Chain A
Amino acid sequence: MKTLIQNVTVGGGQTDLLLADGVVAAVGPGLSADDATVLDATGLRALPGLVDLHTHLREPGREDAETVESGTRSAARGGYTSVFAMANTLPVADTAGVVEQVQRLGEEAGWVDVRPVGAVTVGLAGQQLAELGAMADSRAAVRVFSDDGHCVSDAVLMRRALEYVKAFDGVIAQHAEEPRLTEGAQMNEGTVSAVLGLRGWPSVAEEAVIARDVLLADHVGSRLHVCHLSTRGSVEIVRWAKQRGVQVTAEVTPHHLLLTDELVRGYDPVYKVNPPLRTQADVEAVREGLADGTIDIVATDHAPHPVEAKDCEWSAAAMGMTGLETALSVVQHTMVDTGLMGWDTLVDRMSSAPARIGRLAGHGLPLEVGNPANLVLVDPAARWTVDPAAMATAGRNSPFRGMELPGKVVATFLRGRPTVLDSELVTP
């Protein structure tokens, strides 16, 4: 299969791209190929395919919320060519068998490359290390381990996990949440929670764990990744740790780049998420941190739920938001269109760096001759209104519903094969 993409913007200039045999076969102006499908990409920008280090695909066990098939269709629609599937499935992805099952389901679906994340502890219970080595050695070749949804709160266990994964260049992705400080917490602790009578979720519950973990990572010389960082204080701690030379990386979600706890005033559970939506000052701090590289990547924390899990009163509702199909637009809106960062930096934060942190070969690479043809074509000038019902994900819990956003994914290619064309999925 050959595709010739003409007049596309790559980096700072306009060029043509020839995709053949799964790789970028040629780059340059005025390319031609008789047997290629020709795509006029005037006005479009080509980026390396996006990589999401933090996706909840829910399968096995919660297929009512999402399946690997529906979740990866959603990812392709969002411009992704690879996603890391979080371990909080049923059963938990804490054995070689489960991670291989997830990997196989991803291959069968064929929309994006699925890399399973392995649980740090058995059953996410925070008591005993899972068989991290077996998962690393399995066909799924797990390199990212996380109890996401739960914090590895035991300092000794966290230290052991950090030490243990050094044997196979793994990384512990920590959901930073001190559990005693967030018992029963419903939303960000502050002036809004005080008015609404919802139990507050203090910033310090996140910051205290990050502070502890960067010191542990420093102490044992291991790689730590901070999941969905959300507060100004967390940014400051990571910035300090990086200056100190700690091997720490961090992610922020699109929703924490845009939304604040003021939205909770209507008690609509679509805004209920873990960590909670914070204040405008926090939003500004995470944007600044993402721009200056303190925060390494944008990760969606795509968390689909069945309708009934959100169509209820606030305290009964599940936490989480979908995000795969809106991430690129939200990042363009909050970071690029505001002048905080350019497209090259966006590529780093949404493709190259997550692939690097996850030790994912073949993704996040520049669109250069010989590299795998994993790429996305986006129309930065397009504007669209978010309609959850029109999304490929099974989840309808998008906090961006009804919002007009810039940037539209026009096409996605996985190893040269289109998964999305004209913004519609292309059956593999």
Chain B
Amino acid sequence: MRHLLSAADLDRDAAVHVLDVAEEMAATQRRVVKKLPTLRGRTVVNLFFEDSTRTRTSFEAAAKRLSADVINFSAKGSSVSKGESLKDTALTLEAMGADAVVVRHGSSGAPHRLAHAGWTRGAVVNAGDGTHEHPTQALLDAYTMRRHLRGGTGDLAGAKVVVVGDVLHSRVARSNVLLLHTLGAHVTLVAPPTLLPVGVEAWPCETSHDLDATLLRGEPDAVMMLRVQAERMDASKGSFFPSAREYSRRYGLGRERLGMLPDDTIVMHPGPMNRGLEISAEAADSVRSTIVEQVGNGVAVRMAVLYLLLAGELPGGDA
């Protein structure tokens, strides 16, 4: 496989392979000297058309710990703000000899276009595109689940995961549904009807509008709260729910719902959080919460992805 554009690019063997390699990468990060010589002489470009300090830093750390040369290219203050197109930016980076391009873009499908329009020969990694996908986030979420669920056996088959909130605008939800299904987990999406996309019935998951009923009935192994993406919900685009208070009551994770969960259920969130809206401080900071751990796991997972793509050792078709 040359690129990682979607969680659907990974079949079960490939996904498990990435997660296993991530375990190995994580082990190296517990050493005093964290740096590996694996990608010495290779160039990784972080091409970020949207602000995302968290994801960019994570990819940067991953590439540097593999000894790759890293170029950070952000749209702000660059030629992009002067009107340069994605194509011309890509051609420039190609001329500079990028072996891998990690791209974050506000337009769904931009990484796909970059990979397939002949603008670059490097491996393209989707670091989040519009409301489409964020496959390395799904991988780090799965990695986190593997460490906590099923006694840490690494097998997510049959695990029950509830994903709650703004599915419509969430690239994290899309990638998680695809990857968790591939790994054999059962996913239930819970959201008001206005925040579930038309066509969601074709996704490999269940859906519900009732969070309490889902939590009571399902005994989930993991509850993943999604950020309410208020920036995509301004008044001109219509009202997706009546008020923050009503949303929080119906779909937020607070003390009462936390108490409904089995003792070993973990609470996840891709961040950044709207504390008090989709998740209370009590839930976010509870012992069940893996939210901070998810961030740390991101580096190991991204090291694995960059290593496997650039070493040509990721099985699968030419995505």
Contact = CB atoms under 8 A, between A and B. Distances in A.
Interface stretch (A89-97, A117-125, A185-193, A320-328): A185-193
Interface in A234-283: 266-268
Interface string B103-124: 0011111101110110000000
B202 A267 contact: no
A308 B108 contact: no
A197 B129 contact: yes
A372 interface: no
A195 B174 contact: yes
Interface stretch (A31-39, A224-232, A311-319): A311-319
Contact of A194 (B87, B107, B199, B238): B199
Interface in A315-373: 315-316
A308 B202 contact: no
B180 to A, nearest CB: 16
A267 B199 contact: no
B197 A314 contact: no
B64 interface: no
B199 A197 contact: no
A362 B46 CA distance: 62
A198 interface: yes
A317 to B, nearest CB: 9
B237 interface: yes
A180 B235 CA distance: 11
A183 interface: yes
B87 A311 contact: yes
Given A266-B112, A313-B113, A195 B199 contact: yes
Interface in A410-426: none
Contacts of A313: 86, 105, 107, 109-110, 113-114
Contacts of B106: 315
A200 B248 CA distance: 27
Contacts of B107: 313-316
Interface stretch (B130-138, B217-225, B256-264, B302-310): B130-138
A198 B203 contact: no
B117 A196 contact: no
Contacts of A199: 131
Nearest to B115: A267
A311 B237 contact: no
Given A313-B105, A314-B108, A193 B198 contact: yes
A28 interface: no
B109 A200 contact: no
B86 A316 contact: yes
Contacts of B113: 267-268, 312-314
A313 B108 CA distance: 8
Nearest to A194: B199
B230 interface: no
A82 B46 CA distance: 52
Given A314-B108, A316-B107, A190 B85 contact: no
A196 B197 CA distance: 11
A198 to B, nearest CB: 5
Interface string A187-215: 00111111111111010000000000000
B236 interface: yes
A193 B116 CA distance: 20
* Interface of B, helix, strand, loop or mixed by DSSP: mixed
A266 B198 CA distance: 20
A200 B114 CA distance: 23
Interface in B47-95: 85-87
A388 to B, nearest CB: 16
B200 interface: yes
A200 B86 contact: no
B85 A316 contact: yes
B171 interface: yes
Contact of B108 (A196, A202, A311): A196
A194 B203 contact: yes
Given A192-B199, A193-B198, A196-B132, A315 B85 contact: no
Contacts of A198: 108-109, 130-132
A88 to B, nearest CB: 23
Nearest to B114: A313
A43 interface: no
A198 B106 CA distance: 11
Given A183-B236, A191-B199, A197 B86 contact: no
A61 interface: no
Contacts of B236: 183
B109 A194 contact: no
Contacts of A191: 199, 201-202
Nearest to A181: B238
Nearest to B108: A197
A29 interface: no
A194 B131 contact: no
Interface of A: 180, 183-184, 186, 189-200, 202, 266-268, 308, 311-316
17 contacts: A191-B199, A193-B198, A194-B199, A194-B203, A195-B174, A195-B203, A197-B129, A197-B133, A198-B109, A200-B198, A200-B199, A202-B198, A266-B112, A266-B116, A267-B108, A313-B105, A315-B106
Given A183-B237, A267-B108, 15 more contacts: A194-B202, A195-B203, A196-B109, A197-B174, A199-B131, A267-B112, A267-B113, A308-B85, A311-B117, A313-B105, A313-B110, A314-B107, A314-B109, A314-B113, A316-B85
